[in-house]
Structure 1
Amino acid sequence: MPLFIVALGIIALLLLIMGLKLNTFVSLIIVSFGVALALGMPASEIVGTIESGLGGTLGHIALIFGLGAMLGKLIADAGGAQRIAMTLVNKFGEKNIQWAVVVSSFIIGIALFFEVGLVLLIPIVFAISRELKVSILYLGIPMAAALSVTHGFLPPHPGPTVIAGEYGANIGEVLLYGMIIAIPTVIIAGPVFTKIAKKIVPNSFTKSGNIASLGEQKQFKLEDTPGFGISVFTAMLPVILMSIATIVTLLQETMGFSDSIIVIVIKFIGDASIAILISLLVAIYTMGIGRNIPIKQVMDSCTTAITQIGMMLLIIGGGGAFKQVLIDGGVGDYVAQLFEGTTLSPILLAWTIAAILRISLGSATVAALTTAGLVIPLLGQTDVNLALVVLATGAGSLIASHVNDAGFWMFKEYFGLSMKETFATWTLLETIIAISGLVFTLLLSLIV
């Protein structure tokens, strides 16, 4: 019965968002109230549950998410992202142009959220395509693969950051293991899949695409952008700080040495919130003041970044409210009882639930948060590595992007594809990322 109610709630969510075109946040709150009542929760407790779910979720990620958005915006507005892309294109040369796009998209994807990275990189990909006379899709698939993988697996992106908080996983471990899984996944879903896609839908590689909807893009002369080294350093600094702290923590657990002043300092600056705050302060100098850009202009970029993610934060909060209803309403415990004594890996279970919800709902973040509400009660019964459950949930939440996902339509329109071609490229690409992510997570679980 509880799972039937959840299924009805998901159908209601689909009808509200796709049928009535209601705002996603408003739809999530309405469905959260409806599901809570249907599950028999006392009316006096429902508001408190929704408030605690919304507040608890945003309380963990608002700082990381907000500072991360500012960091990405500063790098983009200063031309740092363009410098990274164009330098790598020149270094790799025409013969290895795909790999240049993969590496630059991966680095930029760590710093920028998926939609921002897509809007920023597509004009660069189109320009390279025209100059070298190669198919835009030949470069577009590797670019989208790198951006999607970083979005699904690596903090400070919303999905993995939120799920890590819900599961109580070490965010540094999520980042470290996420990098290990992300690199082979990008190679398979990018350059390797491009060859397969060319055989499946060869006509799609002749399309010219259309980026008129992006409007006028800010173009920089390369000499007016920050240096390549400082741009990469600024983009990767949160990753560097968090990775160092995680490695030190893992070594400490293995070797058993006690905390010293140095270890305490490393752990402090490697905390996700502190690492991104330090990185933002560095970016304010390297991408702004150090290049004689007035501080007001730098702060305007930061303000714009926060304005752009306001609705996304509310949607994540709404997803958190729905998740809390599933936990407090007993659905999570019901799922835990169903799987009590099962030999099914929590990693596989989290991936499967996230995949089903992703196909149903469209939003990767909402799918991941709803999965957390169902999986959290199970985690107390096992000693599975929580960081790996985070990555499995993230991988499952990317699968089979189709007509209920905004990314599907963005890819279709920008690259001028038909519906069939979009399914055979974008939808298949996201599915390969999801399955590869699961396989590599399961392999990693044999080691860590």
Structure 2
Amino acid sequence: MLSVAACIVLLVLLIVWAKVNPFLAFLLVSVLAGWLLGIPLIKIGQSIQKGVGDTLGSLVLIIALGAMLGKLVAESGAAQKIASVMMGLFGEKYIHWGLVCTGFIIGIPLFYGVGFVLMVPLIFSVVYQYRLPAVAIGLPMLASLSVAHGFLPPHPSPAALVGQFHGDMGLTLVYGLIIAVPTIILAGPVYALTLKGIHSEPLVTFQASFIPEEELPSGFSSFFTSLLPVGLLTLTTLSHFYPGNPFEGVLGFIGDPTIVMLISVIVATFTLGISRGKSMTGVMKTYETAVKDIAMIVLISGGAGALKQVLTDSGLSTEIASQLQSLEMPPLFLGWLIAAIIRVCIGSATVAGLTAAGIIAPLMTQQAINPNLMVLSIGAGSLMFSHVNDPGFWMFKEYFNLSVKDTIRSWSMMETLVAIVGLVGVLLLNQII
């Protein structure tokens, strides 16, 4: 246990203090952990390779296809069209609710970093047009992006955790949506009411440069394409409650997460690409760029899998499980707490989620724990209190041109609320199901 604790501390120091890339840090710590835990030197490399392979085997296709879909949604103007439609529906009086819904819808297919950069100019355009407080209007939309990133597949961390815990991608998505709605409302529009006094003058550099309205895809194409993965996963998940239906085989095939994402990308290629005059070559270039953008996320996920496998192969996983069982804490809370501590120390939600999963995994095989709820519990913990070691903290500060104090009061507290409300939602849902 001391060896594991030392390795986790070293992982934190390598990433935060020494500025080592998280993927390399995971590999170095995995080698050290294997040696300290008594794995024969000749087998340490084999454990690392198996951990990387097992993790990425079920994950890389989902992440890559999700990145392709998100990139095309952004570049085609579909995200901008969704925002325009939502603004029209909600009007000026309830414009913050329109931004929340827009952020959540767009946040499902888009990775967090892409969604952030895409949404901030939309926020500023609304702020300038209606002369509204930037932080109070913008934070609810970013809260919805954050919740989608931490709770909902096909985002990297929840998708990886579903694979590690042998959960059901569709059920995790359904449970995640149930918990996400109240979490977004409380951490977004409700908390934002306390932030109207924060003065913010967003930098002119970040004002939006929009695609002309006549060049945008239709509202139907934009919404349909962005939400298609959610629709397919939800449909196939609901079909599980009606066994023996005549479409069970087809729905079982379509319900595989990789097939869902593949179908979504194929549809997007035509609805947001070919049908709007783009060449197949141009669409494929967009997809190539998308894969390059997420290459490091894939590698970090594989590195976390390597550390998990080393802990398993050393036999220490059984010891960890017994030690964790001795703690008088509900397992779902324990998973949340481990993820939250790592998040505060390291800053990366993805790294926090994947590392916590490796630590909590042995417990999953020894107790009757709902794997889908554990995914959401760890996902909520991985969003806890973003501060100065999180790039997202500095992006929010610089884009909104705030002091560190006001950034903590707004951004950091919003992320903390997301983590806490998300945990409460998981524990309540656990009582029901």
| TM superposition score category, shorter chain reference | over 0.9
Distance (whole Å) between structure 2 residues aligned to residue 127 and residue 217 of structure 1: 6
2:356–2:378: 8 Å Cα contact kept in structure 1? yes
1:37–1:43: 8 Å Cα contact kept in structure 2? yes
Choose the corresponding residue for 1:234, options 216, 222, 225.
225
Task: Map 1:78-97 onto structure 2 (within 5 A).
Answer: 78-97=76-95
Distance (whole Å) between structure 2 residues aligned to residue 426 and residue 303 of structure 1: 33
- Residue 184 of structure 1 and its aligned partner are, at CA, apart by 0.8
Q: Which residue of structure 1 aligns with residue 292 of structure 2?
A: 307
Cα deviation, 1:163-191, whole Å, max 9, x if unaligned, reads 00000000111001000000110101110
Task: Map 1:284-295 onto structure 2 (within 5 A).
Answer: 284-295=269-280
Task: Map 1:13-412 onto structure 2 (within 5 A).
Answer: 13-198=11-196, 202=197, 205-210=198-203, 212=205, 219-249=210-240, 251-252=241-242, 257-258=243-244, 260-340=245-325, 344-412=329-397
1:331–1:374: 8 Å Cα contact kept in structure 2? no
Q: Which residue of structure 2 aligns with residue 414 of structure 1?
A: 399
Distance (whole Å) between structure 1 residues aligned to residue 323 and residue 13 of structure 2: 29
Cα deviation, 1:216-257, whole Å, max 9, x if unaligned, reads 9652111211111220110000000001111111x13xxxx4
Distance (whole Å) between structure 2 residues aligned to residue 123 and residue 418 of structure 1: 20
Distance (whole Å) between structure 2 residues aligned to residue 220 and residue 379 of structure 1: 48
1:155–1:171: 8 Å Cα contact kept in structure 2? yes
Task: Map 1:416-431 onto structure 2 (within 5 A).
Answer: 416-431=401-416
- Residue 365 of structure 1 and its aligned partner are, at CA, apart by 1.4
1:10–1:361: 8 Å Cα contact kept in structure 2? no
- Residue 341 of structure 1 and its aligned partner are, at CA, apart by 6.3
Distance (whole Å) between structure 2 residues aligned to residue 222 and residue 329 of structure 1: 59
Distance (whole Å) between structure 1 residues aligned to residue 106 and residue 253 of structure 2: 25
The verdict on how the C-alpha distance between 1:32 and 1:287 changes in structure 2, with shifts beyond 3 A counting, is same
Cα deviation, 1:144-171, whole Å, max 9, x if unaligned, reads 1000000000000001000000000001
- Letter in structure 2 aligned against 1:428: M
The verdict on how the C-alpha distance between 1:107 and 1:316 changes in structure 2, with shifts beyond 3 A counting, is same
Say which is worse superposed, 404-413 or 105-114, in terms of deviation. Answer: 404-413
- Letter in structure 1 aligned against 2:97: W
Return 5+ residue gaps in structure 2 as ranges.
Answer: none
- Residue 323 of structure 1 and its aligned partner are, at CA, apart by 2.0
2:396–2:407: 8 Å Cα contact kept in structure 1? yes
Distance (whole Å) between structure 2 residues aligned to residue 317 and residue 380 of structure 1: 22
The verdict on how the C-alpha distance between 1:226 and 1:210 changes in structure 2, with shifts beyond 3 A counting, is same
Distance (whole Å) between structure 2 residues aligned to residue 357 and residue 387 of structure 1: 21
The verdict on how the C-alpha distance between 1:184 and 1:14 changes in structure 2, with shifts beyond 3 A counting, is same
Distance (whole Å) between structure 2 residues aligned to residue 206 and residue 359 of structure 1: 27
Say which is worse superposed, 290-299 or 148-157, in terms of deviation. Answer: 290-299
Identity level (%): 45
- Letter in structure 1 aligned against 2:170: G
The verdict on how the C-alpha distance between 1:133 and 1:218 changes in structure 2, with shifts beyond 3 A counting, is closer
Distance (whole Å) between structure 2 residues aligned to residue 57 and residue 274 of structure 1: 18
Stretches (4+) displaced over 4 A:
none
- Letter in structure 1 aligned against 2:232: L
The verdict on how the C-alpha distance between 1:195 and 1:339 changes in structure 2, with shifts beyond 3 A counting, is same
Distance (whole Å) between structure 1 residues aligned to residue 133 and residue 77 of structure 2: 25
SS of 1:404's equivalent? coil
- Letter in structure 2 aligned against 1:407: G
Say which is worse superposed, 8-17 or 297-306, in terms of deviation. Answer: 8-17
Distance (whole Å) between structure 2 residues aligned to residue 345 and residue 381 of structure 1: 14
SS of 1:402's equivalent? coil
Distance (whole Å) between structure 1 residues aligned to residue 368 and residue 8 of structure 2: 31
SS of 1:178's equivalent? helix
Choose the corresponding residue for 1:443, options 404, 428, 432.
428
2:99–2:141: 8 Å Cα contact kept in structure 1? yes
Distance (whole Å) between structure 2 residues aligned to residue 447 and residue 351 of structure 1: 19
TM-score (norm 2): 0.96
Q: How many residues align?
A: 433
SS of 1:207's equivalent? coil
Distance (whole Å) between structure 2 residues aligned to residue 91 and residue 340 of structure 1: 51
Distance (whole Å) between structure 2 residues aligned to residue 342 and residue 22 of structure 1: 33
Distance (whole Å) between structure 1 residues aligned to residue 137 and residue 352 of structure 2: 29
The verdict on how the C-alpha distance between 1:417 and 1:330 changes in structure 2, with shifts beyond 3 A counting, is farther
Distance (whole Å) between structure 1 residues aligned to residue 14 and residue 163 of structure 2: 28
Distance (whole Å) between structure 1 residues aligned to residue 417 and residue 351 of structure 2: 20
- Residue 15 of structure 1 and its aligned partner are, at CA, apart by 2.6
Distance (whole Å) between structure 2 residues aligned to residue 218 and residue 70 of structure 1: 22
Cα deviation, 1:372-409, whole Å, max 9, x if unaligned, reads 12211111222222101110011111101112211111
Cα deviation, 1:123-143, whole Å, max 9, x if unaligned, reads 111111000001111222111
Say which is worse superposed, 299-308 or 323-332, in terms of deviation. Answer: 323-332
